[in-house]
Amino acid sequence: MALQVRKATKADGIFGGVWGFQNPGADPFGPGTRRRLSAVEVVQGLAPLGYAGCTFHDNDLWDFGATPAQRDAALESFIAALRNNGMTCPMATVNLFSAAIFKAGAFTANNRLVRAFAIKKAMDAIDAARAAGAKTFVLWGGREGFDYESSIYLERALGWYRDAVHTLCEYIKRHGYDLKIALEAKPNAPRASILFPTTGSMLGSIATLDPANQGMVGVNPEVAHEKMANAATFTAAIAEAWHAGKLFQFDLNGQYGARFDQDLSFGSDDIIGTVHLVRFLKRVGYSGLRHIDAHPLRTEGQKGTWTFAHRCVRNWKIAEAQVERIDNDPAIRQLLDELEAADNPVDSEVFDFSTPVARAKAVVALADAVFDVTGLGARETRFEALDQLFLEAMQGVDHEEAA
Ligand code: GCO
Ligand code: MN
Ligand code: MN
């Protein structure tokens, strides 16, 4: 039977970054090929497709250098468009990478005035984020890095980044804002090298923050960024963030390996990885927001923009249906049960290291424990069989007995 895929609805909690849908298709080799949409047009276009809402950078809504009146008007019309379409804005962010002033970094520029201006711009964007109802503020530092190592004092730059995060935490607390900060890692593009290149290193940087601020800072892992760092799978980064209690949201898109930044439609590049991502999130009961950060190909016109928008949410629903099929597949369930039993033989409960009390018992038991090292080394894991069953269930193929 063909896979039954439900239509995406707002209840799926999938949000779109307006900038991706506004994107006119420019790249380093040529200008845009379609009109840049306004943020309001994006909201109106995404509403019927099942998107729950939109997120924004300050300069997606108003131009760099806009007057406060222009800024307020743009913000108001965006908020009104969301409201009129039954949508919300859970996250906002700040553009610290487009304007010439940020050409050599923002929070980590060698120039003290540039660093101060960047923090001020982020503070203004935080005000806008709260006005729109956002509870998460993302910081992605596209220019925070170097092209030539001769131009950066790494030991100072890393400290300046931390100082900026601390200052923004201070600002948020001073205003009593209900807002968390999510740091987004990326290894390169636009700079040859960006500081804190992976989600793992970003998590490490959070651990160096003042303990009073650590709780309000987490991460925003992105599919493409982890793949650009040559990770085999995006789910490992997601899991690390979740395990650290720092998975505030994540950016969904597609990316073929460690190459230039592609921002392909979510789920278009890696069907297996997508299914495992959705299955992991189901296992841990993740109920936070899912965020599309991708853009239509330069080949597409206006119509193609909405086709692109549709396939990003559609691919999430397809992956959910594939996960359902895997989890309900009798052969898979049976094999998983058998493996679970084989991996947890009776009398092995004493080897529980998960709590202080259990560990105290376990170390005593370990002192006299004897292991069948040869037998354990020779055990059948049946991973090949399991993975084949997964692939077949995913593709709707009937299983056949292995020869
Ligand atoms: C990129 C990044 C950005 C950020 C955005 C939100 O590769 O350009 O993914 O799209 O996610 O700036 O902070
Ligand atoms: Mn990206
Ligand atoms: Mn992103």
- pLDDT tens, position by position, 115-149: 999 999 999 999 999 999 999 999 999 999 999 99
Q: Estimate to the nearest angstrom the gap between the alpha carbon of 381 and the chain centroid.
A: 32
Ligand 1, atom 12, residue with closest C-alpha: 140
Closest CA to 200 of 230, 224, 226: 226
Give the number of the ligand closest to the Cα of residue 227.
2
Distance CA(400)–CA(397), nearest Å, equals: 9
Minimum-distance ligand 1 atom for the alpha carbon of 220: 11
Q: Would 177 be classed as within a structural domain?
A: yes
Is 276 an annotated catalytic residue? no
Residue 401 has a pLDDT of 78
Q: Would 309 be classed as within a structural domain?
A: yes
Minimum-distance ligand 1 atom for the alpha carbon of 138: 13
Looking at the 3D structure of the chain, how many domains does it have? 2
Over residues 306-314, mean pLDDT: 98
pTM above 0.85, yes or no: yes
Residue 187 has a pLDDT of 98
Best residue among 140, 202, 234, 292 to mutate for probing ligand 1's pocket (most ligand atoms within 8 Å of CB) is 140
Check if the beta carbon of residue 296 is closer than 8 Å to that of residue 254: no
Q: Tell me the H-state helices in 207-301.
A: 211-214, 223-228, 235-243, 271-284
> Which amino acid is present at 352?
D
Ligand 1, atom 5, residue with closest C-alpha: 140
Over residues 164-174, mean pLDDT: 98
How far is residue 192 from each of residues 107, 204, 314, measured CA to CA in Å? 17, 22, 34
Check if the beta carbon of residue 101 is closer than 8 Å to that of residue 113: no
Are residues 239 and 374 located together in one domain of the fold? Answer: no
- Other beta carbons within 10 angstroms of residue 233's beta carbon come to 17
Are residues 211 and 347 located together in one domain of the fold? Answer: no
Best residue among 136, 139, 251 to mutate for probing ligand 1's pocket (most ligand atoms within 8 Å of CB) is 251
What are the DSSP calls for 284-318, one per residue?
HT--S-EEE-----TT--HHHHHHHHHHHHHHHHH
Give the number of the ligand closest to the Cα of residue 22.
1
- pLDDT tens, position by position, 195-246: 999 999 999 999 999 999 999 999 999 999 999 999 999 999 999 999 999 9
Residue 12 in contact with ligand 1 by CB distance below 6 A: no
The sheet carrying 217-219 orders its strands as: 217-219, 180-184, 136-140, 91-93, 53-57, 14-17, 290-292, 251-252
* Residue 2's pLDDT band (cuts 50, 70, 90): confident
Last residue of a domain, one of 288, 320, 352: 320
User: Ligand 3 center to residue 132 CA distance, Å?
Assistant: 20
Residue 216 in contact with ligand 1 by CB distance below 6 A: no
Q: Which CATH number do you get for residue 106?
A: 3.20.20.150
Q: Would 3 be classed as within a structural domain?
A: no
- Other beta carbons within 10 angstroms of residue 349's beta carbon come to 12
The tokens of 291 are what? 């965020």
Ligand 1, atom 2, residue with closest C-alpha: 140
* Residue 155's pLDDT band (cuts 50, 70, 90): very high
User: Ligand 2 center to residue 1 CA distance, Å?
Assistant: 37
Q: Would 4 be classed as within a structural domain?
A: no
Are residues 295 and 390 located together in one domain of the fold? Answer: no
The tokens of 382 are what? 């049946």
Closest CA to 78 of 114, 128, 5, 29: 128
Q: Would 132 be classed as within a structural domain?
A: yes
* Annotated catalytic residue within 60, 269, 293, 329: 60
Check if the beta carbon of residue 143 is closer than 8 Å to that of residue 105: yes
User: Ligand 3 center to residue 261 CA distance, Å?
Assistant: 11
Residue 222 in contact with ligand 1 by CB distance below 6 A: yes
Are residues 239 and 368 located together in one domain of the fold? Answer: no
Decide: residue 400, CB within 10 A, 0-12 exposed, 13-18 middle, 19+ buried.
Answer: exposed
Are residues 377 and 269 located together in one domain of the fold? Answer: no
Question: Which residue segment(s) compose the domain that 131 sits in?
Answer: 10-320
Q: Would 250 be classed as within a structural domain?
A: yes
Are residues 80 and 196 located together in one domain of the fold? Answer: yes
Distance CA(16)–CA(54), nearest Å, equals: 5
- Residues with Cβ within 5 Å of ion ligand 3? 222, 251, 293
Are residues 306 and 365 located together in one domain of the fold? Answer: no
* Residue 403's pLDDT band (cuts 50, 70, 90): low
Residue 278 has a pLDDT of 98
Instruction: Categorise residue 281: left if φ over 0, alpha if ψ from -120 to 50, beta otherwise.
Output: alpha
Q: Would 5 be classed as within a structural domain?
A: no
Mean pLDDT over each residue of the chain, to the nearest integer: 97
**DSSP assignment letter at 399:** P
Last residue of a domain, one of 260, 287, 320: 320
Give the number of the ligand closest to the Cα of residue 143.
1
Residue 395 has pLDDT above 70, yes or no: yes
Check if the beta carbon of residue 267 is closer than 8 Å to that of residue 227: no
Are residues 290 and 335 located together in one domain of the fold? Answer: no
Is 343 an annotated catalytic residue? no
Closest CA to 181 of 130, 222, 217, 128: 217
Are residues 375 and 254 located together in one domain of the fold? Answer: no
Q: Would 95 be classed as within a structural domain?
A: yes
Q: Which residues pair with 16 in a beta bridge?
A: 54, 292
Last residue of a domain, one of 299, 320, 341: 320
Are residues 336 and 299 located together in one domain of the fold? Answer: no
* Residue 402's pLDDT band (cuts 50, 70, 90): low
Distance CA(336)–CA(305), nearest Å, equals: 42
Helix (H, G, I), strand (E, B) or coil at 100: helix
- pLDDT tens, position by position, 244-294: 999 999 999 999 999 999 999 999 999 999 999 999 999 999 999 999 999
Are residues 120 and 215 located together in one domain of the fold? Answer: yes
Are residues 178 and 258 located together in one domain of the fold? Answer: yes
Strand pairing report for 145-146 and 193-194: antiparallel
The owner of tokens 């030539």 is 148
Residue 184 in contact with ligand 1 by CB distance below 6 A: yes
- Main-chain dihedrals φ then ψ at residue 194, nearest 5 degrees: -110, 140
- pLDDT tens, position by position, 89-105: 999 999 999 999 999 99
Residue 1 has pLDDT above 80, yes or no: no
